[in-house]
Amino acid sequence: MDDQKLNEKTLEEKLQDTREEWTSIVKELTEKMKDLPGLEKLLNQVYIKRQECVEYLSSLMVTYGKLQRAHKALYAQRYNFYKTSAQLRYSNDSAIGTQIDAEPQMNDLNEKLDLIRIHVEAMRETLKTIDNIVFGISHRTKIYEMLNGLKF
In a domain, 34, yes or no: no
Report the predicted TM-score, pTM, of the whole model to 2 decimal places: 0.82
Domain that holds residue 136: 41-147
pLDDT of the residue at 45:
95
83-105 per-position pLDDT tens digit: 888 888 888 889 999 999 999 99
Would you say residue 55 has pLDDT above 90?
yes
In a domain, 57, yes or no: yes
In a domain, 121, yes or no: yes
pLDDT of the residue at 1:
45
Would you say residue 25 has pLDDT above 50?
yes
In a domain, 120, yes or no: yes
Number of domains into which the chain is organized: 1
Alpha-carbon distance of 93 to 78, in angstroms, equals 12
In a domain, 9, yes or no: no
Name, of 1-5, 58-62, 82-86, 135-139, the range with top average pLDDT: 58-62
In a domain, 3, yes or no: no
Report CA-CA distances (Å) from 44 to 29, 49, 64, 81.
Answer: 11, 9, 30, 56
In a domain, 136, yes or no: yes
Residue 31, sorted as left (phi over 0), alpha (psi -120 to 50) or beta, turns out to be alpha
pLDDT of the residue at 5:
53
pLDDT of the residue at 52:
98
User: 99 or 142: whose pLDDT is higher?
Assistant: 99
pLDDT of the residue at 148:
76
**CB neighbours of residue 121 within 10 Å:** 10
